[in-house]
Structure 1
Amino acid sequence: MKTLLSAKPVLWFLFLFNLAVAALAPFVVDGTQGVMTAVGMGVVALGAGVGLLRSRQPGSV
């Protein structure tokens, strides 16, 4: 599972999809649920972005 989640295409999908959902969630879902959805998806997008940046660095796996 770790090799699947660290593959670049998967990281790009996670980053872009979760970033889009985080940006749209407050407008689609009302109230606190929309805000919390945006926060949760934003955290996942940030994690995928960090994974993409780490994979660019020389000497990383």
Structure 2
Amino acid sequence: MKSLLSSKPALWFLFLFNLVVAAAAPFVVDGAQGVLTAVGMGVVSLGAGVTLLRNRQAAAAC
């Protein structure tokens, strides 16, 4: 499972999908649930983005 989640296409999907959901959640869901959904999805998106950047820097260093 770890190798699947750390593949480049899966990381791009996680980054972009969660970023879009985080941006849209406060407008679609009212109240605290929308805000917490946006925060949670934003954290996942940032994690995938950081992993993509780390992999890119590691590949450039080799």
TM-score range, shorter chain: over 0.9
Give the unaligned 5+ runs of structure 2. none
Aligned length: 60
Percent identity of equivalent pairs: 78
How far apart, CA to CA, are the structure 1 residues paired with 2:13 and 2:58? 23
Give the unaligned 5+ runs of structure 1. none
* SS of structure 2 residue aligned to 1:40: helix
* SS of structure 2 residue aligned to 1:30: coil
**Following superposition, which runs of at least 4 residues in structure 1 exceed 6 angstroms of deviation?**
none
- Answering whether residue 15 of structure 2 is matched by residue 15 of structure 1, we say yes
Looking at secondary structure, tell me which structure has more helix per residue: 2
Q: Which amino acid aligns with 1:10?
A: A
TM-score, structure 2 length as denominator?
A: 0.91
TM-score, structure 1 length as denominator?
A: 0.93
